Amino acid sequence: MGTADLARAGEGGGIPDTASGRALAAFPRLVAFDLDETLAPLKEPAPVATTSRLAWLLTLVDVCVLSGAAFEQFEWQLLRPLAAQEGLLGRLHLMPTCGTRYYRRRDGEWSLVHADELTEPERARVRAVLATSARELGLWEPVSYGERIEDRGTQVTFSALGQQAPYASKKAWDPDGRRRAALVERVRAALPGFEVRANGYTSVDVTRAGADKGQAIRRLISLLGLTRDEVLFIGDRLDPAGIDYPVYLAGVTCLPVTSWEQTVAVMDGLLDWHRDPACCPLAARFVRLAV
Ligand SMILES: [Mg+2]
């Protein structure tokens, strides 16, 4: 099956064909995942179905989890449910806040390798612009579940209903994405030199310009001495407006999913492929996902 077939499969399933036009010739040496809605339901712990397959994947290749979420969310959402042998955790690369922080396992603990911190004056300015813009657009909700603006050091995140809002409320707040798009446009105009992106169902993330998942994956590829052809990325927001799209722009093979259940199917496809490299079932599995 060639890349044209993969692209056609993408068209049929509403999956962006831009993300499916590239296919790996050999089993990947690095498999990277988004977290929310890819390895786990939104803001819920990763189910055993994905963590058990992740543990298996770590026995074969390096694995990266690259998310807009903070490291604290990685801890309860992914690391606690993940039962992998200590020796294998050395192959796990954690990139929270869009890769502006990078953690590796050292001496039984997660250790920060690098962080692209925003300065305090930069963060104060971003917080002020987010609050003013949200108020001007009528997006400053009277009730919030937790902080509306979260300062993550390398990233400042606005969540319209607060970080701890119920899932159903979040999903209903901006179903067509127009509210976040208006906020992104206004904040972007006020903050040249910063990256401004919609994320999740109610959030807008601000980082320093260029600090996105594409930069993060390019850095990791270089650090590990790999080429982009040896990397596979799986994420639920590979549409051109999505937070995962810069990974596709970095030239990495990307598989779009719409839920962690689809990620399980992709991981099973990888398992089959590793067992029998000749059958290349990843392509076949992808077609099945797209139907
Ligand atoms: Mg996601």
- Ligand 1 centre to CA of 29 (Å) is 22
pLDDT band at 24 (very low <50, low <70, confident <90, very high): confident
Residue found under tokens 């076949």: 284
**Are 238 and 266 found together in one domain?**
yes
**Are 89 and 104 found together in one domain?**
yes
Which token pair is 89? 């955790």
**Are 220 and 107 found together in one domain?**
yes
Distance from CA of residue 208 to its chain's centroid? 17
Q: How do residues 181-215 score in pLDDT, each as one tens digit?
A: 999 999 999 999 998 989 889 999 998 888 889 99
**Dihedral sign, Cα of residue 7, residue 9, residue 12, residue 18:** negative
Which token pair is 228? 């982009």
- Ligand 1 centre to CA of 200 (Å) is 7
What span, in angstroms and rounded, lies between the C-alpha atoms of 110 and 108?
7
Decide: helix, strand or coil at residue 127: helix
**Are 62 and 174 found together in one domain?**
no
- Ligand 1 centre to CA of 35 (Å) is 6
E strands, the chain, in order: 30-33, 62-66, 92-95, 101-106, 109-115, 149-151, 156-159, 194-199, 203-208, 231-235, 253-256
- Ligand 1 centre to CA of 15 (Å) is 15
**Are 13 and 109 found together in one domain?**
yes
- Ligand 1 centre to CA of 119 (Å) is 27
pLDDT band at 147 (very low <50, low <70, confident <90, very high): very high
- For the domain that residue 203 is a member of, what is the CATH number? 3.30.1240.20
> Could you say which of 170, 189, 208 is where a domain stops?
208
**Are 15 and 156 found together in one domain?**
no
**Are 81 and 200 found together in one domain?**
no
What per-residue string of b and e applies to 219-232 under the rule 16 or more CB within 10 Å gives b? ebbeeeeeebbbbb
**Are 91 and 104 found together in one domain?**
yes
Q: Give the lowest-confidence range in 17-21, 23-27, 238-242.
A: 17-21
Q: Give the lowest-confidence range in 1-15, 23-37, 136-150.
A: 1-15
Decide: helix, strand or coil at residue 107: coil
- Ligand 1 centre to CA of 33 (Å) is 9
What span, in angstroms and rounded, lies between the C-alpha atoms of 116 and 124?
16
How many domains does the structure of the chain reveal?
Answer: 2
- Ligand 1 centre to CA of 45 (Å) is 14
Distance from CA of residue 119 to its chain's centroid? 24
Helices (H), 90-244: 120-136, 167-173, 178-190, 213-223
Instruction: State the greatest distance between any 2 C-alpha atoms of the chain, in Å, as a whole number.
Output: 58
pLDDT the model gives residue 271: 86
Domain that holds residue 190: 120-208
**Are 219 and 80 found together in one domain?**
yes
- Ligand 1 centre to CA of 43 (Å) is 10
**Are 57 and 197 found together in one domain?**
no
**Are 217 and 134 found together in one domain?**
no
- Ligand 1 centre to CA of 278 (Å) is 31
- Ligand 1 centre to CA of 116 (Å) is 22
- Ligand 1 centre to CA of 206 (Å) is 16
pLDDT the model gives residue 283: 54
pLDDT the model gives residue 242: 87
In the beta sheet, which residues pair with residue 93? 64
What span, in angstroms and rounded, lies between the C-alpha atoms of 194 and 65?
23
- Ligand 1 centre to CA of 34 (Å) is 6
Asked whether the beta carbons of 228 and 249 are under 8 A apart, the reply is no
- Ligand 1 centre to CA of 197 (Å) is 13
- Ligand 1 centre to CA of 214 (Å) is 15
pTM, whole model, 2 decimals?
0.76
- Ligand 1 centre to CA of 260 (Å) is 10
- Ligand 1 centre to CA of 39 (Å) is 8
What per-residue string of b and e applies to 134-149 under the rule 16 or more CB within 10 Å gives b? beeeebbbeebeeebb
Residue 109 or 14, more confident: 109
What kind and span of H or E run contains 204?
strand 203-208
pLDDT band at 135 (very low <50, low <70, confident <90, very high): very high
**Are 225 and 97 found together in one domain?**
yes
> Could you say which of 208, 235, 265 is where a domain stops?
208
- Ligand 1 centre to CA of 227 (Å) is 24
- For the domain that residue 262 is a member of, what is the CATH number? 3.40.50.1000
List the strands of the sheet with 149-151, edge to edge.
149-151, 156-159, 203-208, 194-199
> Could you say which of 178, 208, 238 is where a domain stops?
208
Q: How do residues 168-182 score in pLDDT, each as one tens digit?
A: 999 999 999 999 999
Nearest to 74 by CA among 53, 106, 99, 108: 99
- Ligand 1 centre to CA of 254 (Å) is 13
What span, in angstroms and rounded, lies between the C-alpha atoms of 198 and 181?
7
| Mean pLDDT along residues 214-236 | 95
- Ligand 1 centre to CA of 69 (Å) is 9
pLDDT the model gives residue 22: 60
Nearest to 125 by CA among 199, 202, 190: 190
pLDDT the model gives residue 241: 81
